[in-house]
Chains A and B, each alone.
Chain A
Amino acid sequence: MPSCLSWLQNRSLVSTAGLYAFGLSSDAINLLSVNQSAKALFQAMDSLLSPEGDSQRTQYPYVTGTSVIGIKYKDGILMAADMGGSYGSTIRYKSVERLKQVGKHSLLGASGEISDFQEILKYLDELILHDNMWDDGNSLGPKEVHNYLTRVMYNRRNKFDPLWNSLVIGGVKNGQKYLGSVSMIGVHFEDDHVATGFGNHLARPILREEWREDLSFEEGVKLLEKCMRNLLYRDRSAVNKLQIAKITEEGLTISQPYSLKTFWNFAAFQNPTVGAEGSW
């Protein structure tokens, strides 16, 4: 049992719960898992009972980034995110980079708590460093990175200490395009286009209408800009300074920050209550 106990205490990021125990008796496994979950529960109760200020776990985010949108296109993946960082309803930061490269083949975009995202980047740096240190011709692709991050997010939620992010992971490896998403509690999926937060409400309907498998780069960028402009109009924490990233078999490029042309003189914008009877 000493090994089991130390396992419990070990704060492994991606614990494989129960699998290492296959050398142990089933009673041991039983004890172990029940123990572990009971512990998690007690800790959770603890944090609910005590004033939040004492908690060493995340209860709410401080500085957050808003939506990220990712699409597959003819040659790879395109992703867009603006550069705002909101402190509650204040736009506190205006040059936050939320699209980052991971290894040779992957691109990561994040919405949610910026500090948690930067912590995740540290994990990934180390992951990729260790992967490169083998220097054996094998490398982690977007699928592996997505899965790893899913494990990280899910394990943190199991500890009632979530990383407050929704992540979008895209990439190309061996001619295979990959685009997926993970939420702060570990819900994950792949799709041809994904969007986090407000983007899931405002951008994905557009993408469902207009996305095609064989979008060219120009068409893809245009589509993303259309989505981002929509978000800019309707999402109060969106800012008009964004980056678009492209990843293909050839490599990754992240654009310089730029702004979208906007038009605010729509009648509905100038007098929103016209035609909305019963409102102010």
Chain B
Amino acid sequence: MFRNQYDTDVTTWSPAGRLFQVEYAMEAVKQGSAAIGLRSKTHVVLACVNKANSELSSHQRKIFKVDDHIGVAIAGLTADGRVLSRYMRSECINYGYTYESPLPVGRLVVQLADKAQLNHKACGVAARPVGNVDGIPFTPGSTFLTLKSHFTCWQVCTQRSWKRPYGVGLLVAGLDESGAHLYYNCPSGNYFEYQAFAIGSRSQAAKTYLERKFENFTGSSRDELIKDALFAIRETLQGEKLTSSVCTVAVVGVGEAFNILDQATVQALINEFEISGEEGPANESVAEEAGGDAGGAAPTEAGAATEQETAPMDI
């Protein structure tokens, strides 16, 4: 195995047309504990697995409220996730300040994706198109300004060279006048809209579950969505018992502001749906065991590495 010459910074291309730093950042998302999201016509549910670093520590928060109509679940570097969700919060507040109405979800997602881009381009600041009326930035002045303050205030410590992509994937759930939305934002700056999606370690199992079920989601009720979210989360646990202490669930929907369900509520739901243990609907979990995830209990996701045909680390 010889050292890859093309992966030392984000501005260097490999001859094959790849940016390894970006791909490594995407690997970081796979290392994080799982987060899933799914949506119906009226509701979006986010759920995540809480994994504590040690027996003695608490876990990191992985779901954040951005505004009454938007929330995110993250996988990867939670520190980056916090920075980005703070950015999103500030964008929402500023939009609300100017227009007294909620920021459309899709627009926030694009701004967020652009930010990922900016972050690993050498020159970050002048990026978003800002309409100009005699030197006056037109879009509320916001994007432009906030980016600057981010660079100078928050990223200085860990990212002084401005050359590290964000190592976090975000599932963005939200509601606006065009309906309920679920987006996935990737460290590469790509973003996709989904009916249902899962990211993070052992997310393949959840994805398999969601792929099998997603066609029914559109018409699902809020509670059915939560139920499916819990089932999907259980798939990623690899036989570990599903309790309210290992997962967080959040909902946003028509007539319901984004909120993170408290532990008692989640536990009540788990009991109600009888999805705590391995027993579950037997055939489902068997199918999962077989097809979904080859990695088993291995800490890193072997399955994902193989499906990528070449692991980015060694070429």
On A, residues with C-beta under 8 Å from B are 2-3, 6-7, 10-16, 19-20, 22-24, 122-123, 126-127, 129-130, 134, 136-138, 140-141, 143-144, 147-148, 151, 174
Contact = CB atoms under 8 A, between A and B. Distances in A.
Contacts of A20: 90, 94, 142, 145-146, 149
Contacts of B150: 23
A9 to B, nearest CB: 10
Interface of A is mostly: helix
A141 B137 CA distance: 22
Contacts of B90: 19-20, 22
A138 B104 contact: yes
A156 to B, nearest CB: 11
Contacts of A3: 145, 148-149, 151-153
B306 interface: no
Nearest to B135: A11
Interface of B is mostly: helix
A151 B98 contact: yes
A144 B107 contact: no
| 5 A-B pairs with least C-beta separation | A12-B141, A137-B178, A138-B104, A144-B99, A3-B152
Nearest to A126: B131
A47 B100 CA distance: 34
A130 B110 CA distance: 14
Contacts of A129: 131
Interface string B136-166: 1111111011101111111000000000000
Contacts of A130: 131, 138-139
Contact of B138 (A7, A15, A123): A123
Contacts of B148: 3, 6-7
B107 A134 contact: yes
Contact of A143 (B100, B104, B138): B100
A136 B137 contact: no
A126 to B, nearest CB: 5
12 contacts: A3-B151, A14-B140, A16-B141, A19-B90, A19-B93, A23-B149, A130-B138, A136-B104, A137-B177, A144-B99, A147-B98, A148-B99
A126 B138 contact: yes
Contact of B107 (A22, A127, A138): A138
B133 A122 contact: yes
B97 interface: yes
A137 B106 CA distance: 10
Contacts of A22: 90
Given A130-B131, A143-B101, A144-B101, A16 B178 contact: no
A23 B131 contact: no
B176 interface: yes
A141 B144 CA distance: 24
Contacts of A140: 99
B141 A10 contact: yes
Contacts of B98: 14, 16, 147-148, 151
Contacts of B104: 134, 136, 138
A173 to B, nearest CB: 9
A12 B136 contact: yes
Given A20-B149, A138-B178, 17 more contacts: A10-B137, A10-B141, A11-B135, A11-B136, A12-B136, A12-B141, A13-B133, A16-B141, A19-B93, A19-B94, A23-B150, A129-B131, A134-B104, A136-B104, A141-B101, A148-B99, A151-B98
A50 to B, nearest CB: 23
A15 B107 CA distance: 20
Nearest to A24: B153
A100 B272 CA distance: 58
Interface in B117-133: 131, 133
B32 to A, nearest CB: 25
A126 B176 contact: no
B131 to A, nearest CB: 5
Nearest to B103: A138
Nearest to A139: B177
A57 to B, nearest CB: 14
B169 to A, nearest CB: 22
A2 B136 contact: no
A154 to B, nearest CB: 11
